Amino acid sequence: MTIKMSEIIGYPLGWVMWLMYQITDNYAWSIVIFTLIIKILLFPLSVKQQKSSAAMAAFQPKLEKLKKQYANNQQKLQEEQMKLYSEEGINPMASCLPLFIQLPILYGVFDVVYRPITHIVRAGKDVIESAKVIAKGLMEAAGVTDFANFNQRPEIYIVKEVQKNPDAFASLNNPEFVEEVSNFNNKLFGIVDLGDIPTLKPEVWNTAAIILILIPVMSGLIQMIMTIYSQVRSKKLNPDAPSMAGMNIMLYIMPIFSVWIAFSFPAGIGFYWTMSSLFSFVQSIILYNIYTPEYVAKLVEKDKEKRKKKNRPNMMERYQQMMEEQMAQQNGGKGAASASNNNKKIATAKSTDDEGSEVKISRSKQKEYEKMIIREARRRQAEKYGEEFIDDDEE
pLDDT in tens, 18-27: 999 999 999 9
Listed in order, strand segments (DSSP E) in 69-210 are 187-188, 192-193
**With 90 as the cut, is the pLDDT of residue 132 above it?**
yes
Q: Which of 144-158, 202-216, 219-233 has the highest mean pLDDT?
A: 202-216
Tens of pLDDT, residue by residue over 236-288, are: 766 655 555 555 666 678 888 889 888 988 898 899 889 988 998 898 888 88
Q: SS in 3 state form for 66-78? A: HHHHCCCCHHHHH
List, in sequence order, every residue forming a beta bridge with 352; answer none if it has no partner: 358
Query: What are the CA-CA distances from residue 346 to residues 102, 166, 328 (Å)?
Result: 37, 74, 16
Q: Which of 34-48, 108-122, 281-295 has the highest mean pLDDT?
A: 108-122
306-315 mean pLDDT: 60
CA neighbor of 116 nearest in space, from 22, 192, 221, 17: 17
Confidence (pLDDT) at 238: 61
**With 50 as the cut, is the pLDDT of residue 57 above it?**
yes
Its pTM stands at 0.67
Annotated domain spans of the chain: 313-349+360-394
Cα-Cα-Cα-Cα dihedral sign, residues 143, 146, 151, 155: negative
Confidence (pLDDT) at 387: 57
**With 50 as the cut, is the pLDDT of residue 51 above it?**
yes
R_g of the chain, CA atoms, integer Å: 29
CA neighbor of 278 nearest in space, from 13, 38, 15, 24: 38
Helix 363-384 and helix 74-88: axis angle, to 10°? 150
One-character DSSP codes across 5-49: HHHHHHHHHHHHHHHHHHHHS-HHHHHHHHHHHHHHHTHHHHHHH
Exposure string for 209-241, b = 16+ CB within 10 A, e = fewer: bebbbebbebbbbbbbebbeeeeebbeebbeee
Q: What is the mean pLDDT of the chain?
A: 76
Confidence (pLDDT) at 359: 45
CA neighbor of 13 nearest in space, from 99, 108, 130: 108
Confidence (pLDDT) at 383: 59
Contact 89, 316 (CB under 8 A): yes
Q: Work out the pLDDT band at 355, boundaries 50, 70, 90.
A: very low
The Cα–Cα gap between 25 and 367 comes to 64
